[in-house]
Chain A
Amino acid sequence: MQFGIFSVSDITRDPVSGETPTEAERIDAIVQIAEKAEEVGLDVFAIGEHHNPPFFSSAPTTLLSHIAAKTRKLIVSTATTLITTNDPVRIAEEYAMLQHLAKGRMDLMLGRGNTAPVYPWFGADIRQSLPLALENYNLLHRLWREDVVDWEGKFRTPLQGFTSTPRPLDDLPPFVWHGSIRTPEIAEQAAFYGDGFFANNIFWPKEHYIRLIKFYRQRYAHHGHGTEKQAIVGLGGQAYIAKRSQDAIKEFRPYFNEAPVYGHGPRMEDFMDQTPLSVGSPQEIIDKTLTFREHFGDYQRQMFLMDHAGLPLKTVLNQLDLLGEEVVPVLRKEIEARQDPETAKPPTHAGRVSDKYGDGPVRQPKPNANRGDNVTGGSPYQDSK
């Protein structure tokens, strides 16, 4: 089981100090947060993608390659990469490049994006969001698996003899998670390709997630990738931790009350009762997180939202100390003891290389000399025709 943190990349006024960080401060902070995640023993750091203020993360691969360079074990990922408004060709190129630079310590999560005005900025139409996402991913999937792609679809100009470079590291496409709350088509696509499925698990009713994860598991088995229990599931969640639970509640309340998404709405206590939000002592966070597998089945990745709603850097780093030192080690032990032995291992580059090649040679594509196009003649790579 992997544990990590995911950030929305919001730049929010700290309701306690009244200060709003600058973009420069928040971008510096996120790098420190990611480094801290590695330091305290977390496995994954993921960042969202947004193209409007008050968010900073418009270029996730640039940030993630910087973080990968400053860390040694951490897997860098997204939450999410927009499969609708990004050209799948650019996603193929940028994330393959990130994969090389991170030496395989990366994956990505795809989502559609629900901010209507963003779509036309990138020449897209939110009314076509779902078919656009599905078609774009069908293309992305091929671009990472076929050296030369001829392609024609509804939403983008056709490709003739196109090679996405660099080829994925070890000729192994990055692992992909598909994030969705209530769209069966996205779950079906994840299942069809044997990819991971991620439920953000911030808002309930949990029934939405339970249904869709169950459907994804059934379809994963149907499409022949393994049993339902072997399907690859990731979950979100959010926590605020203090040694004593009354301190956690007191400290987090002003941030909860003004949080951009649910602030000025429900009482924090109601939200804690009725959603996955945990605010309390390490033991309370552990107990609540352990209930997730009872609802959704054993899963591979648990992500926490820790740096949102204007929480200052110092607090976030302190939260990560508590998460990494007092919560996650216990969760690892408890979940290992309870987990069904049939459960799939979480995806890592090394594990997937070994699944693909066993002890055999790992493909390392070397290009032929430039001949101007991929349409005439054979493969652009030396080891294939």
Chain B
Amino acid sequence: MGQNFQLVVVSAGTSDPSSTRLLADRVAGRVTTLVGKRAQTVGTTVVELRELATEIANALVSNHIGPKLQNAIATLQHADGIVASTPVYKAGASGLLTSFFQILDNDLLIAKPVVLAATAGTARHALVVDDQMRGLFAYLRTVVVPTSLFASTEDWQDNGLNKRIDRAALELVALMTSGFEKTVRDESWGSYQHEYGSAGGTELTIDLDSDLMRLAAGGAAN
């Protein structure tokens, strides 16, 4: 009996179904097949950001995290792999997607493997994933697979897209099944900067032996 993995698809597509979601689903489907071949299983959860749009906007302006958003955060916290997919608007990723990831605790996604995907009406937006989205996910200290996915209208009839989906899915599965996230978190969690209560409320270590703690207990500042 192999391991059971959790894959989370985050889609910022707006119609139902959207091509953005469709692209993500194809990655998820391929990931499921590849994991199955390794005698392991994967469960996929989809976070449709359009359903969270109001709560995302509220969180941005008032720091108030609504219940649906809270659920989405908990889902991501337990993800072994993530597919983040967005439409391109005005030469950039949808604000819905970037806003969502900007709300998350800095520590929530450390070392989690991610496939980035974008859809657009024209191939001229092809570099949005590599030029813009990678920076956000680097800040969150995720590990983004080498193959970025981009599908403009013409790509949907090009078998090249399928090949890139296969590649990205395999890269994700390789990272998920190698235990990359676990190794990093088990052996190196303390060497990343953390804030008390971050990582979805799980980062609760208090180092009583720090300079600041000594200062708090009447000691001198260094």
Say which residue of A130, A205, A262 sits within 8 Å of B201 (CB atoms).
A205
Q: Please determine whether A192 and B64 come into contact, CB atoms closer than 8 angstroms.
A: no
Chain B positions within 8 Å of A138 at CB level: 215, 218
Which single member of A134, A154, A211 contacts B204 (CB below 8 Å)? A211
- Kindly identify which residue among B58, B197, B218, B221 contacts A208, using a CB–CB cutoff of 8 Å: B197
Query: With A134-B215, A182-B196, A186-B216 in contact, do A266 and B66 touch (Cβ < 8 Å)?
Result: yes
Q: Is the CB of A154 within 8 A of B66?
A: no
> Is A117 part of the contact surface with B, judged by Cβ < 8 Å?
no
By a CB distance below 8 angstroms, the chain B residues around A54 are: none
Would you call A55 an interface residue if the criterion is a C-beta within 8 Å of the partner chain's C-beta atoms?
no
Flag if B221 contacts A134 (CB, 8 Å): yes
Interface pair A274/B221, CB less than 8 Å apart: no
Q: Select the stretch in B23-31, B78-86, B205-213 that faces chain A.
A: B205-213
Q: Is A162 engaged at the interface, CB distance under 8 Å to the other chain? A: no
Cβ-defined contact, B62 with A262, below 8 A: yes
Q: Is A188 an interface residue (CB 8 A)?
A: yes
Specify which chain A residues have a CB less than 8 angstroms from the CB of B63 in the assembled complex: 203
A141 to B218, CA, bound (A): 9
Which residues of A lie under 8 Å from residue B1 when comparing CB positions? none
Residue of A nearest to B208 (CB): A188
Name A155's contact: one of B195, B197, B221 (CB within 8 Å): B221
Report the minimum CB–CB distance from B112 to chain A (whole Å).
Answer: 22
Does B65 make an interface contact (CB < 8 A)? yes
Task: Identify which of residues 52-94 in chain B touch chain A, using a CB-to-CB cut-off of 8 Å.
Answer: 57-58, 61-67, 70
Smallest distance from the beta carbon of B22 to chain A beta carbons, Å?
32
For B219, the closest partner residue in chain A by CB is A138
Q: Which of B61, B66, B213, B220 contacts A185 (CB 8 A)?
A: B213
Minimum CB–CB distance for A318 against chain B, Å: 27
Residues 155-189 of A at the B interface (beta carbon under 8 Å):
155, 182-186, 188-189
Find out whether the CB atom of A188 lies under 8 angstroms from the CB atom of B221: no
In the complex, residue of chain A having the shortest beta-carbon distance to the beta carbon of B63 = A203
Q: Which parts of A181-216 form the interface with B (CB within 8 Å)?
A: 182-186, 188-189, 192-193, 203-205, 207-208, 211-212, 215
CB of A378 within 8 A of chain B?
no
Q: Which single member of B58, B67, B197 contacts A265 (CB below 8 Å)?
A: B58
* Cβ contacts under 8 Å, A130 to chain B: 212
Please tell me if the beta carbons of A207 and B201 are within 8 angstroms of each other in the complex: yes
**Contact A211–B197 (Cβ < 8 Å):** yes
A212-229: CB near B (< 8 Å → 1, else 0) gives 100100000001000000
Q: Is A153 an interface residue (CB 8 A)?
A: yes
Is there a chain B Cβ closer than 8 Å to A131's Cβ? yes
A270 at the B interface (CB under 8 A): yes
Q: What's the tally of chain A residues with a CB closer than 8 Å to chain B?
A: 37
Which has the most chain B C-beta neighbours within 10 Å: A130, A134, A203, A271?
A134
> In the complex, A274 Cα to B69 Cα: how many Å?
13
Contact of A131 among B70, B196, B217, B221 (CB under 8 A): B221
Asked if B64 contacts A266 (CB within 8 A), the reply is yes
| Interface pair A154/B196, CB less than 8 Å apart | no
Residues of B within 8 A of A134 (CB): 212, 215-216, 221
- CB <8 Å contact, B67 and A189: no
Contact A192 B217 (CB under 8 A): yes
**Contacts A265-B58, A266-B58 known; A135 to B64 CB distance under 8 Å?**
no
Given A135-B221, A182-B197: A266 touches B62 (CB 8 Å cut-off):
yes
Interface contact A203-B64, CB-CB below 8 Å: yes
Contact A184:B64 (CB < 8 A) given known A131-B221, A134-B215, A207-B201: no
Q: In the assembly, what is the distance between CA of A356 and CA of B114, in Å?
A: 61
Q: Are A207 and B216 in contact (CB under 8 A)?
A: no
Residue of A207, A261, A274 near B197 (CB, 8 A) is A207
B67→A274 contact, CB < 8 A: yes
Complex: how many Å from CA A134 to CA B212? Answer: 8
Q: Which of A267-299 contact B (CB under 8 A)?
A: 270-271, 274-275
- In whole Å, how far is B47's beta carbon from the nearest beta carbon of chain A? 19
Assess whether B221 is in contact with A153, with CB atoms less than 8 Å apart: yes
A203 to B58, CA, bound (A): 13
Q: CB distance A261 to B212 under 8 Å?
A: no
A271 near B64 with CB under 8 A, answer: yes
Do B64 and A265 have beta carbons less than 8 Å apart?
A: yes
- Residues on B with beta carbons closer than 8 Å to the beta carbon of A264: 61
Q: With contacts A185-B216, A270-B66 known, what are 19 further pairs, Cβ within 8 A?
A: A134-B221, A141-B218, A153-B221, A154-B222, A184-B196, A186-B216, A188-B213, A188-B217, A189-B216, A192-B217, A211-B197, A211-B204, A215-B206, A262-B64, A264-B61, A266-B66, A271-B64, A274-B64, A274-B66
What would 14 A/B residue contacts be, using CB atoms closer than 8 Å? A131-B221, A138-B215, A184-B206, A185-B216, A192-B217, A205-B65, A212-B196, A223-B217, A262-B62, A263-B62, A264-B61, A265-B58, A265-B64, A270-B66
A-B pairs with the 3 shortest C-beta distances? A265-B62, A189-B216, A262-B62
